[in-house]
Amino acid sequence: MVKFVELHKQITIMEEMLFYDRMQFAFTITFHYLFPQLTMGLSLIIVYFKWKYLKTQDEQYNHATHFWMKIFALNFAMGVVTGIPMEFQFGTNWAKFSELTGGIIGQTLAMEGMFSFFLESSFLGLFLFGEKLLGHKWHFVTGLLIMIGSWASGFLIIATHSWMQNPVGYEILENGKFVLNNFQALFLNPWLWPSYLHNQAASLVTSSFVVAGIGAFYILSKKNVSFGKLFLKTGVIFGLISSIIVAVPTGDLAAKNVVKYQPVTFAAMEGIFHTEKKGSEIVLIGQPDVKDKKLDNKIAVPNILSFLTYGNWDQEIQGLDQFEEDLHPTNISGLYYAYHIMVGLGTVFIGLMVISLFQLIRGKLFETKWLLWSLMFMMPFPYIANTTGWYTAELGRQPWLVYNLMRTAAGASPTVSSGNTLFTLLGFIGLYLLLGMLFLLLVGKIINKGPHHVELSTEKI
């Protein structure tokens, strides 16, 4: 009995440690990714504006470029300062994981530093302040280089992520270490390309909605109306294209990867507790009851899921009942909600953008008040969709750090106590709260000032 109590205490301590380690990583990465998701997509839109300016010599495009560069610069700085803690945390909080897999995931992370960050940091200053020094053509080129840097960064992060989801090109030594035996395999990972394109398209969705939303705000507030129209038009066109690409083909392919490589995750995502022999329904709404293995208040359409997944209405899809319980994702409800929120919002985005484009073509977009209001209030939602998309991927990988090979519990730092992690977690929460407030203050200032007043050569970012 004494032994049991002692063991129970040990387990509780371990679980508490793991809980704070996970919370800290989740919190810092969630906050961090609010910024790169805008800058990756926005860099493309900025390059587009600059390119239009070069082609048409219309000053408005250059003013638009400058305005969005200011927003970009602020987001970029936030991304940098919140990004450095991410690289450190593999070692500080996940030491065992880093020790055993560092020879592989360290490879792609080191490449990110050497290829993306040096490129971005070398040219960011020139891009932000060097327009007069460089001339417009070279200014365009620096913008393009910044874009390439940020997209390469995303690529290498998702290559790292993909290895954890679907490990390739490795062998495991007797001492438990993962060693690389095929470098190319890291980049030919079937998980990588659909995820990468899905993520980049989603980043473009965020940026397009922000550009369109600010455009709508300017039109509604009757300030900077000509810019408002330009932003809205551009945002709607980019927004429609990217919202569609997020769903088809990239989202579809990414989901099929989950079916193929992580069927148990797929069952949890979709809320399939029991295998249906004659084809699976698709669940639109419902609350999972993990204890009794059912969905409450369910609204579902029969056979659609089988069709979407296999192109066959009657195909059987494995439910959670087909898998051992200790292989189930640890947070089934969270995973289910994350996935459904992402998909639900993605559908709303497509719908809204289709209507907006329709109105744009009819020449009535700028007068359709309800649509302008909707576009403006829609701005935060792509952030939610991106975040829940990542939660789907990460919660879906649990209880593994390296899928099917290394449990999350085995990866934490052995010597860092939960008290120390809670201390730093609280510190991060406080610091990021401050950062977030400053960010909103400054971004509000830029938007309030509007594009007309932006003079990059005399003003600070």
Partner 1 sequence: MEFFWYVVLMGILAVYLVLDGYDFGAGIIHLFFADTEKDKKAITNAIGPFWDANEVWLIAAGGVLFFAFPTLYASSFSGFYLPLIMILWLLIFRAIGLEMRGQIHNHMWEAIWDKAFGIASLLLALFFGIALGNIVRGVNLGMVQNGVSTQEAHYFFLPLWNPTFSPQANELGIIDWFTLFLGIVSVVALTIHGANWIIYKTNSALNPKLKNVVFRLNFILLVLVFISLGIWHFIEPKPFHNFVENPILWFFPLMTFVGIAGLFKVRSFKKDGHGFLFSTLFLVGGFASTAVSIFPNVLPSTNKVNPSLTIYNTAAHEYGLNAGLSWFFIALFLVIIYFIIQYRVFSGKMDDIGYGEH
Site for partner 1 in 112-141 (CB under 8 A): 112-115, 117-119, 121-126, 128-130, 132-133
How far, in Å, CA of 194 to CA of 247, rounded? 11
Q: Which residues lie below 8 Å from residue 263, measured CB to CB, with a gap of 6+? A: 318, 322, 323
Could you tell me how many residues of this chain bind partner 1 (CB under 8 A)?
Answer: 71
| C-alpha to C-alpha distance for 267 and 341, rounded to whole angstroms | 16
As measured in angstroms, the least distance from the Cβ of 23 to partner 1 is 14
* Contact between 453 and 48 (Cβ < 8 Å): no
Stretch that binds partner 1, among 193-201, 248-256, 272-280, 418-426 (CB under 8 A): 418-426
* Residue 414, preceding peptide bond in cis (omega within 30° of 0): no
Residue 76: CB minimum distance to partner 1, A: 9
Smallest distance, Å, CB 308 to partner 1? 39
Q: Which residues pair with 299 in a beta bridge?
A: 285
Minimum CB distance to partner 1 smaller for 35 or for 273: 35
Nearer to partner 1 (CB atom), residue 220 or residue 435 = 435
Q: How far apart are CA 194 and CA 197, in angstroms?
A: 5
Instruction: Find all residues with CB under 8 Å of 410, minimum gap 6, and list them.
Output: 96, 97, 401
Q: How far is the CB of 191 from partner 1 (least distance, A)?
A: 20
Minimum Å gap between C-beta 165 and partner 1 is 19
Where in 216-235 is the site for partner 1 (CB under 8 A)?
Answer: none
Q: How, if at all, do strands 294-301 and 282-289 pair? A: antiparallel
Backbone angles phi, psi at 426, to 5 degrees: -65, -40
Q: How buried is residue 301: exposed, middle or buried, by Cβ count under 10 Å (0-12/13-18/19+)?
A: exposed
| 58 or 459: CB nearest partner 1 | 459
Pairing of strands 178-180, 282-289: unpaired
Shortest Cβ 428–partner 1 spacing (Å): 8
Distance, CA of 240 to chain centre: 18
Distance CA 413, CA 421 (A): 10
Region of residue 333 (left: phi > 0; alpha: psi -120 to 50; beta: else): alpha
Give 23 or 81: the residue with its C-beta nearer to partner 1.
Answer: 81
d(CA 79, CA 112): 14
CB of 81 to partner 1, least distance (A): 5
Query: Of residues 133-192, which lie at the interface with partner 1 (CB under 8 A)?
Result: 133, 173, 177, 179-181, 183
CB nearer partner 1, residue 121 or residue 347: 121
State which residue, 278 or 445, has the beta carbon closest to partner 1: 445
Tell me, rounded to whole angstroms, the distance of Cα 361 from its chain centroid: 31
Q: What is the Cα–Cα distance from 143 to 137, expressed in whole angstroms? A: 10
Helix (H, G, I), strand (E, B) or coil at 275: coil
Tokens of 424: 């730093």
Nearer to partner 1, 132 or 260 (CB): 132
Q: Which residue's CB is nearer to partner 1, number 43 or number 303?
A: 43
Determine the Cα–Cα distance for residues 441 and 404; give it in Å rounded to an integer. 45
- Residues whose CB is less than 8 angstroms from the CB of residue 358 and which lie 6 or more positions away in sequence, other chains included: none
Site for partner 1, residues 70 to 99, rule: CB under 8 A: 77, 80-82, 84-85, 87-88, 90-93, 95-96, 98-99
Residue 103 CB, nearest approach to partner 1 (Å): 3
Nearer residue to partner 1 within complex by CB, 98 or 250: 98
Q: Considering the complex, state which of residue 82 and residue 250 has its C-beta at the smaller distance from partner 1.
A: 82
Chain positions 245 to 284 lying near partner 1, rule: CB under 8 A, are none
- Distance between CA 96 and CA 232 in Å, rounded? 49
Using rule CB under 8 A, residue 103 touches partner 1? yes
Segment 353 to 412, residues that bind partner 1, using CB under 8 A: none
Question: Least distance from C-beta 438 to partner 1, angstroms?
Answer: 6
Using CB under 8 A, which of 364, 407, 445, 453 touches partner 1? 445
Using rule CB under 8 A, residue 6 touches partner 1? no
Stretch of 53-61, 105-113, 200-208, 376-384 contacting partner 1, by CB under 8 A: 105-113
- The residue (of 69 and 353) whose beta carbon lies closer to partner 1 is 69
Which one of 27, 102, 304, 355 is in contact with partner 1 (CB under 8 A)?
102
Q: Provide the minimum distance between the beta carbon of 105 and partner 1 in the complex, in angstroms, as a whole number.
A: 8
- 109 interacts with partner 1 by CB under 8 A: yes
Residues in the chain: 461
